[in-house]
């Protein structure tokens, strides 16, 4: 991979900040050995990123499995130039990659610094972390909705910059004041709010501007697979830093975070504007301020089409088994029940991220091309039901790891990939702006994630208190995240609603 270096092309490094890159045919075995001795494990990380990036971002942008209608508007013309689609897709992939790396780069460092700032008081540490997460969630809902509404009037480009700026400020704030609890808290809150907004909300809005139908579903899945790559890279970078720094050097990871913000800002500046002036909504500040209501996303149910209400509910339930929702339970299970070491847990996270990249880049798009919307959704729901029912059925590593192949087609929101384009079409049919509705859908999933986390945590604690087997918590997750949405899909959603026709609201 390093000998060819062609994977640098889609990232934009060939003609970007680092100058003109040529395929490194001169990179001999002797060079590789010397390079490895010089930087230790970094070359393996670079090679792994290159391999995964080539899987995700180098597929032809116009390839949607022979379904040309997916990339056309109603008149049969392509709605967006192919070069704009290609540039946006690669930009979104990088933006989402940097967003996930920013979230995972300081996991251990942040915990150590906050604990130290709290004087070693674990109860105070837990309260601070919980309060930061809650504040980021509450403020994030308002920022997502106001920012999404503004982007429908002002365009998308400027809003891609907010996340990188927040990463730069958060990293610089903690690097210069590593012992300040206020700096650590606000750093965590800023990253939680604006990285999600500029990455998830604005990235999704830009994708919806450019892609339609099956093409949108496939490209969203491929771009989403970059999340697995970010999950792999962030902890590995932090581990390399912590191993090479003396005790008390945890703030170094925040210097990398600030640098990451600079690089991400450079990438965001190259993102094309996907919302032309003719398509923009009129700017009404009163409407923008009203959109800041934390319950604005409920307009999906009060003003949306009948199909939108049903399909959004199905997707929300499916999001209750996303990786970030299950991560706390999984960490407890790996550490306390499977008795894995810290290194083994890290290796599991990296391996799961790599498999997620493979699945999102190859497996899930292939299934979407070969199955109907209902068939794909049913298949992935069923695999999730089986996998989560078995995952905690016994305290054995072989069982926990053995169900991973069943989870890969539909885990981390992939089970709703085929429904996504229909939900987007129904949002348009309901008269909602793309940016605004992207924020609503993101907030709806966030609320479901908070509720799911509470349910799993309290059910696990109840099982421990009452002497029941705590592994049943995974079965509860499979019930809420796969069985319930499958029941709703089978019983409440008709064939016409899966066609995305846009039935009148209130029917």
Q: Phi and psi at residue 72, in whole multiples of 5°?
A: -120, 155
CA separation for the pair 489, 280 (Å, rounded)? 34
CA separation for the pair 386, 370 (Å, rounded)? 22
Q: How many CA atoms lie within 13 A of 27 on its CB side?
A: 14
Residue 26 reports pLDDT greater than 50: no
Whole-angstrom CA distances from 392 to 211, 411, 473 are 39, 16, 8
Highest mean pLDDT among 147-156, 283-292, 329-338: 147-156
The separation between the first and the last C-alpha atoms of the chain, rounded to the nearest angstrom, is 55
Question: Hey, which residues does 505 pair with through a beta bridge?
Answer: 305
Higher pLDDT, 452 or 288: 452
| pLDDT at residue number 60 | 43
User: What mean pLDDT do residues 432-454 have?
Assistant: 81
CA separation for the pair 62, 85 (Å, rounded)? 8
Question: Hey, which residues does 19 pair with through a beta bridge?
Answer: 16
pLDDT band at 484 (very low <50, low <70, confident <90, very high): very high
pLDDT digits (tens, 9 = 90+) for 444-481: 887 887 788 778 888 888 888 888 998 999 999 999 99
Residue 157 reports pLDDT greater than 90: no
CA separation for the pair 414, 319 (Å, rounded)? 9
pLDDT digits (tens, 9 = 90+) for 325-365: 787 678 778 878 888 876 777 677 777 777 777 787 788 88
Which residues fall within 8 angstroms of residue 65, CB to CB, at 6 or more apart?
Answer: 214, 218, 365, 368, 369, 370
pLDDT digits (tens, 9 = 90+) for 290-332: 666 667 778 889 889 999 999 999 999 998 888 777 876 787 7
CA separation for the pair 99, 284 (Å, rounded)? 30
pLDDT above 70 coverage of the chain, percent: 79
| pLDDT at residue number 483 | 95
At residue 219, the 3 state secondary structure works out as: helix
User: What mean pLDDT do residues 47-67 have?
Assistant: 45
User: What mean pLDDT do residues 482-505 have?
Assistant: 79
Residue 431 reports pLDDT greater than 90: no
Cα 368 versus chain centre, distance: 20
Write b or e for each residue in 384-400: b if 16 or more Cβ atoms lie within 10 A of its Cβ, otherwise e: bbebbbbbbbeeeeeeb
């Amino acid at each position: 991979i390093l000998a060819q270096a062609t994977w640098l092309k889609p990232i934009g490094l060939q003609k970007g900040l680092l100058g003109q890159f040529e395929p490194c045919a001169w990179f001999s075995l002797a060079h590789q050995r010397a390079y490895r001795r010089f930087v230790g494990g970094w070359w393996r990380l670079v090679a792994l990123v290159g391999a995964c990036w080539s899987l995700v971002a180098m597929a032809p942008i116009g390839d949607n499995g022979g379904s040309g209608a997916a990339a056309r508007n109603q008149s049969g013309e392509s709605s967006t130039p192919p070069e704009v689609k290609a540039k946006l897709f690669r930009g979104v992939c990088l933006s989402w990659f940097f967003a996930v790396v920013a979230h995972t780069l300081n996991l251990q460092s942040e915990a150590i610094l906050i604990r130290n700032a709290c004087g070693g008081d674990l109860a105070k540490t837990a309260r601070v972390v919980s309060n930061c997460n809650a504040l980021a969630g509450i403020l994030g809902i308002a920022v997502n909705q106001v920012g999404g509404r503004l982007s429908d009037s002002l365009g998308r480009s400027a809003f891609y910059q907010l996340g990188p700026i927040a990463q730069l400020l958060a990293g610089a704030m903690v690097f210069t004041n590593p012992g300040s609890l206020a700096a650590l808290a606000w750093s965590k809150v800023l990253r939680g709010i604006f990285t999600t907004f500029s990455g998830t909300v604005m990235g999704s809005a830009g994708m919806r501007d450019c892609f339609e139908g099956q093409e949108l579903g496939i490209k969203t899945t491929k771009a989403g697979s970059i999340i697995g790559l970010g999950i792999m890279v962030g902890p590995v970078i932090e581990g390399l830093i912590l191993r090479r720094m003396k005790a008390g050097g945890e703030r170094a990871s925040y210097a990398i975070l600030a640098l990451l913000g600079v690089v991400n800002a450079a990438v965001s500046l190259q993102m094309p504007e996907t919302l032309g002036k003719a398509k923009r909504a009129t700017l009404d500040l009163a409407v923008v301020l009203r959109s800041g209501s934390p319950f604005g996303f409920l307009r999906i149910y009060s003003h949306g089409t009948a199909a939108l209400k049903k399909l959004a509910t199905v997707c929300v339930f499916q999001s209750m088994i996303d990786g970030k929702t299950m991560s706390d339970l999984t960490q407890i299970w790996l550490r306390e029940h499977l008795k894995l070491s810290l290194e083994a847990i890290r290796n599991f996270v990296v391996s799961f991220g790599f498999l997620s990249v493979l699945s999102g880049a190859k497996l899930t798009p292939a299934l979407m091309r070969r199955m109907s919307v209902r068939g794909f959704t049913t298949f992935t729901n069923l695999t999730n039901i089986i996998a989560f029912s078995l995952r905690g059925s016994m305290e054995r590593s072989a069982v926990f790891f053995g169900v991973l192949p069943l989870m890969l087609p539909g885990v981390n929101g992939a089970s709703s990939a085929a429904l996504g384009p229909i939900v987007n079409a129904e949002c348009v049919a309901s008269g909602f702006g793309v940016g605004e509705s992207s924020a609503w859908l993101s907030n709806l999933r966030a609320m479901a994630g908070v509720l799911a986390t509470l349910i799993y945590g309290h059910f696990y604690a109840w099982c421990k208190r009452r002497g029941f087997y705590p592994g049943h918590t995974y079965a509860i997750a499979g019930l809420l995240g796969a069985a319930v949405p499958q029941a709703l899909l089978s019983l409440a959603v008709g064939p016409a609603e899966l066609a995305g026709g846009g039935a009148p609201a209130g029917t």
